[in-house]
Structure 1
């Protein structure tokens, strides 16, 4: 997971995406430094320094026999670096050209063939950030959950020309820095470019909250801007990411979320609700101060800034989990927010598996997602493809769709009934194009866990409006009972 930086800039989420790319077979001619025998190198240095010397001078200088000196001179003359002059030896023009003015060492180069599989993205025609010159498509189930950026149609249809132009310019330097053999190399010519397989590369960028007065959440493009040609070669990728983020519908009902919380969170987050709004700055200041709440006394309670895949959430979860006895007999109930980044990516997979852990086995997990009734069929197929098909181990045993207006879309609720409750509110910005600020708490306080579960059950009372997502899954009645069964609270273990 991405690391937090400082109190003025906090990683609150990660945007994972698929970058359209293609592998290309490139055959090029490159010039490389060629290693030369040490005696030959020093002979050239002597002649370069003295301008002229006899064969006897070289023989004496290196302690060679007459026969060895003859072989050395033969090699130098056959290479065209030395010629006889005025009864002695001097460098030819070719020999003089071996010396760089900067360091005075002779450099011999040769033209060699470069035959490589090279990957280019189909937006900026740059090398993807990575450690392999040519990627092979490796399917991972989480890749089904994340969105792919659209390839540039003109680049995709004229890929060979764009790759030639890109590789001819600064991209070759970047390629050689990453995958060269350590000897100074320059591109001499590109002789052949063949487009091969099209692929999608899973990539990610951190989403950070800048906390300087007004809290602004936005993607951090530092790594993309600092990589590649003149630091801006990947700007088309940045533009595509921003277009994708602007196309999402961000939750706008955080005030409804806080009204719901007021009935069950024992003033943990709702203490920051004023008569007209939520005091986000006061809430964040409280969380960053590290102070403990006096409102939850019967168990560990932690506050955090970030989504359920953020480091802030996982750090808070780890602190609470230590005080509990989690078993495979527990249930995990996860109410998804109406938040476009929820449920997507490798980090979400890791978080879901972590939250299901219990004495060596995974607890039964149910995900509940609000959706407009006309979309139940299409949404159900999409969720089945994302979270069930081609997965050896499921993230959720069952998924349920319920009417979107049953509970505020800004709320994310994670419950292990009788054990812990986590609530995240995605606080809307006044600008609808701005990303929301996720703040939340996780608690093992028995009364809070009970009341959050009870409030959730009260909000989802219409079982006739539930739709079971996975084919051949448990019936709605069974799932309804699993969600609404509220166990007697279990006292958390005392901290050692």
Structure 2
């Protein structure tokens, strides 16, 4: 695919004043960027040196060429042996020629003295072979870091131009020239002090392929929540993104895959919110159900911080955004304080909505951290207690979700729960319910909207209904 203009990554404005322009964070997503190692053989010319005496000799010959060797010996106070040693050092490098008892600078010797420089600039050419890593889309440097099994099963960014990846080895020399300073000088102060110059690239050998993570923050404005954009500022600075415009293109294409259309049963999802948290949502309930847009704006402007006397708060965005993830952990802490000395049901049930969901390392990290909240590390040789995490879906789990959860259950065919609904629940402790559907448009990025609660009555209502909709269980590996 040929691009005439580089795409511009649009970052949402943080200085908007009106409510309609308030920035909201909808999701945190991780995607894989294909990369490869290359062994590059090259030459660098580095600032070298000769002995101080030889340098002064070169400076003398530069000032008065064709000096008698006897005068050189007299000038420096050398005996014949010392004079021979110094002259051998400079003539062996073709800086000085000798004839009829006189010494002259050669053309190479003259070239050492740059314009307006009184000291010779002496360089040495060194052969090197280094292993370097580039992403295969923009051919920019990346770090080689190990990924968890979960992360390795995430989806890759789409490759919009297959030829770019297929011909990566042929493109490496140009990329190596472009990023030479970034690859070596920035991390090697000793090498940087020598002020090396890349002299030539002699050979490139392709090595192993690997992947690295590109973290995407999905942001939008309250005025146009369906038209969300990718914020890559947690991955690279704006100037670096200019060099990686092909990656930005690919991220833009990936964002298109997140879009969904409104469904008639989305209304049923919003009805579940009002059914399970009627008191909390009382001011947003109309005759025809939840006033979605009004609640959406309220959720975007309310602080939403939990307190012992505020057990239910609105949620805007997935549980994987930093703010909502912190709220979830705080809800678990409050619930544990309230339920002290009561036996725990060590189980997390998570109904997965039928959108691209949980595509982030925050998912397994959340399951692990909640497990530690429920059962802190035991002392001595006691075995740590485990929390069973079950994903509940209508369809088979994607590979990455199967890796994150311990168990998988299918929803019963007659389950009265809309495909856009997400439910997180720890029985007797905490629940969170979200509806993933476009808002203010019939098509676009789904806007997760719902509530988080450790209110005992709300959690109980959700748990009772969920007990009726889970069907047969299947191992997560299938």
Same fold (TM over 0.5): yes
Equivalent pairs counted in the alignment come to 431
Which residue does the alignment assign to 2:44?
A: 30
Residue matched to 2:434: 424
Q: Answer whether contact 1:268 1:441 (CA < 8 A) is retained.
A: no
Q: Is the 8 A contact 1:28 1:114 kept in 2?
A: yes
Q: Call closer, same or farther: CA 1:442–1:462 in 2, change over 3 Å.
A: closer
Answering whether residue 162 of structure 2 is matched by residue 153 of structure 1, we say yes
Q: Which has the higher contact order (CA 8 A, sep 6+)?
A: 2
Question: Aligned runs of 1:366-405 on 2, under 5 Å?
Answer: 366-371=390-395, 379=396, 382-383=397-398, 385-387=399-401, 395-402=404-411, 403=413
Deviations 1:45-98 (A, max 9, x none): 6776x66797479648xxx99976764454334434456899998755433433
Q: Is the 8 A contact 1:225 1:235 kept in 2?
A: no
Q: Give the structure 1 partner of residue 198 of structure 2.
A: 187
8 A Cα contact 1:28 1:115, kept in partner:
yes
Among candidates 125, 129, 132, match of residue 142 of structure 2: 129
- Could you tell me which residue of structure 2 aligns to residue 339 of structure 1? 355
Residues 229 and 255 in structure 2, CA contact (< 8 A), matched pair in contact too: no
Which residues of structure 1 form unaligned runs of 5+? 372-378, 474-496
Q: 2:344 & 2:58 partners in 1: Cα distance?
A: 76
Matched, 1:13 2:13: no
Distance in 1 (CA, whole Å) between partners of 2:313 and 2:99 is 86
Deviations 1:415-445 (A, max 9, x none): 1111112223335144566323334443222
State the distance in 1 between where 2:125 and 2:183 align: 18
Alignment match, 2:454: 444
Assess if the C-alpha contact under 8 Å between 2:415 and 2:469 holds in 1: no
Contact 1:246 1:433 in 2 (8 A): no
For residues 273 and 314 of structure 1, the distance between their equivalents in structure 2, rounded to whole angstroms, comes to 27
Q: Secondary structure at the match of 1:32?
A: strand
The answer on 1:203 being equivalent to 2:219 is no
Distance 1:24 1:5, change over 3 A: same
- Give, in angstroms, the shift of residue 283 of structure 1: 2.0
- Relative to the length of structure 2, the TM-score reads 0.74
Q: Distance in 2 between matches of 1:356 and 1:320?
A: 14
Partners in 1 of 2:75 and 2:414 — Cα distance? 90
CA-CA distance at 1:446 after TM superposition: 1.8
Distance change (3 Å), C-alpha of 1:36 and 1:349: farther
1:467 and 2:475 are equivalent in the alignment? no
Q: Answer whether contact 1:51 1:91 (CA < 8 A) is retained.
A: no
Paired position in structure 2 for 1:323 = 334
SS in 1 for 2:293: coil
- Cα distance, 1:173 vs structure 2: 4.4
Instruction: After superposition, give the CA deviation of every residue in 1:317-354 in whole Å (9 maximum; x if it has no partner).
Output: 233233233876432111112220x2333222111212
Contact 1:24/1:194 (8 A) holds in 2 = yes
Deviation string 1:382-403 (CA, Å, 9 cap, x unpaired) is 55x5455xx6xxx433211214
Distance 1:210 1:104 in 2: 61
- The 1-side partners of 2:445 and 2:29 are apart by 12
- Offset of residue 11 of structure 1: 4.5
Select which of 123, 143, 148 maps to 2:151: 143
Distance in 2, Cα, partners of 1:57 & 1:221: 69
Is 1:359 the counterpart of 2:407 in the alignment?
A: no
TM-score, normalised by the number of residues in structure 1: 0.71
Residue 248 of structure 1 and its aligned partner are, at CA, apart by: 3.9
Distance 1:367 1:91 in 2: 80
Please give the root-mean-square deviation of Cα atoms over the aligned residues, in Å.
4.1
- Structure 2 unaligned blocks of 5 or more: 1-11, 16-21, 377-384
Change (3 A) 1:330 1:160: closer
Q: Could you tell me which residue of structure 2 aligns to residue 307 of structure 1?
A: 318
Tell me, in whole angstroms, the C-alpha distance in 2 between the residues paired with 1:424 and 1:104: 74
User: In structure 1, how many angstroms separate the alpha carbons of the residues matched to 2:461 and 2:107?
Assistant: 90
| C-alpha spacing 1:329/1:38, structure 2 compared with 1 (3 Å) | farther
Q: CA deviation at 1:452?
A: 3.0
- Cα shift at 1:16: 1.6
